[in-house]
Amino acid sequence: MADQIVEYNTCETPEEVAERCRGADCIISCWVDIPHRVIDENPQLRTVGFWTHDYEHRIDVAFARKRGIQVPAIPDYGTDSVAELVFVALLELLGGLHGHWPRESNPIEAVVAQLSDKIRLFKKNVKDTLNGRWIHEYIKTGQRQITHSDEIPEEALKGLTVGILDKRILQKPLLQMLSNGFRMNVIYSLSDYAHDLNIAFRPVEELVSESHAIVYDDRSLTEDLRQLIHNKCRLRKVNTANLSSNRPSLSGLKLGIVGLGRIGSRVAQIASQGFNMHVQYFSRTPNPHLERELHIKYAALEEVLRSSDILTFHLPHHSAENFLSDSLINEIRPGTIFINASVGNIIENEEFLLNTFRTGRLTGYLDVYRTLPPRLALRQLRATLTPTYRLGWRTKSTVGLKTHKLLTKLEEAARPETG
């Protein structure tokens, strides 16, 4: 699309931005502001593309368009990745709540918990966050350059193939969570199965070769098969032989969703169709069609806050600033699990929220903050709050998808108009 491409990791000052953009026909940015000066000084400029959905504060869009400049961005790229992360975090959280929640355990959820952790590297990212190793910030500030999606080790669950070599867990609940919920592909070998299960058979060598992840019971495998699995270095492996199943279950819990856009809707689908959860939601725009399809119900905001076992927030980056005030946080029922993987600025007073974890009134998971993660506070709150930092968007498929979408929009912007 271009005769010349010049790339910089980041820009520190408006002057540096102006100098580096001089003479450009097209500019691509993500976290760098494009001021009026760049537009004024470059009459040849035709496109300013943003490798993100959150760009309105980076450029005066109306000013640019008046000068004939197109401003493409990517409104939707992390729907699956962020929605899945809610459940990866929940499965991890519930694994640590044994003894606190007197609920029936679900051994299949223990398998799914370990499988999702292996794929999303959740525990590693928690450790990195607490130790101040913030990959998102390294990329944003140019300390780390990503040149290919393979440099992102985390994967989205949707679309991956899971091979099952443990006949004990080859049951409807497993397929419901993986296939119906996360929309993964599941195949099996080395066992018979109930014929009402919607699952495909593969000879064991093909299964190992085809799968992105494999679930097996080490006690039932031959030495040759153990070696075959071991030699597949990139294969995510879950050995169920020593897996503890003594944990509360998500099934039957009431999930409250605040914000039923793309991501909130996907969260509702995973909860309802994958984990048999009761889902209620609040949204400025109710969705009766989704209510009928997923058997979820609309409720007033205060009811969602007061009556949910788990609360998860999925609000937009703009128009929802300071949405969750101290008074609304006080409405949340004590003992609720609180999750925010959307945007940090919906919390009016972050310190007030953190204090609810400090006192043990709430437990929860945060992936976003008003600015950088408050590392000292997070380390002190480890017993009640599990943190990551911007893990929601950072998967191999999401990075590839957002790049593909932006390239497509740039091609459309460069194409001469016809008719």
pLDDT digits (tens, 9 = 90+) for 217-231: 999 899 999 999 988
H helix or E strand, kind and range, residue 209:
helix 204-210
For residue 201, the model assigns a pLDDT of 93
Instruction: Report whether 70 contacts 47 (CB < 8 A).
Output: yes
The reply to whether 254-387 shares the fold of 105-121+134-246 is yes
Domain definitions of the chain by residue range = 14-73, 105-121+134-246, 254-387
> What percentage of the chain carries pLDDT values higher than 90?
76
**pLDDT tens for residues 297-351?**
999 999 999 999 999 999 988 888 999 999 999 999 999 999 999 999 999 999 9
For residue 318, the model assigns a pLDDT of 80
The pair of structure tokens assigned to 208 is: 């190992």
Alpha-carbon torsion 41, 44, 47, 50, what sign? negative
CATH class of 14-73: alpha beta
Largest CA distance in the chain: 70
pTM to 2 decimal places:
0.93
**Helices 79-95 and 396-414: crossing angle, nearest 10°?**
170
Helices (H), 217-334: 223-231, 262-269, 275, 288-294, 301-307, 326-331
Helices (H), 22-66: 36-40, 61-66
For residue 354, the model assigns a pLDDT of 98
Question: Is the CATH number of domain 105-121+134-246 3.40.50?
Answer: yes
254-387 CATH choice from 3.20.20.100, 3.40.50.970, 3.40.50.720, 3.40.50.2000: 3.40.50.720
Q: In angstroms, rounded to a whole number, what is the distance separating the alpha carbons of residues 25 and 175?
A: 50
Residues 6+ apart with CB under 8 A from 397: 80, 81, 149, 155, 156, 158, 159
Q: Which residue has the higher pLDDT, 82 or 191?
A: 82
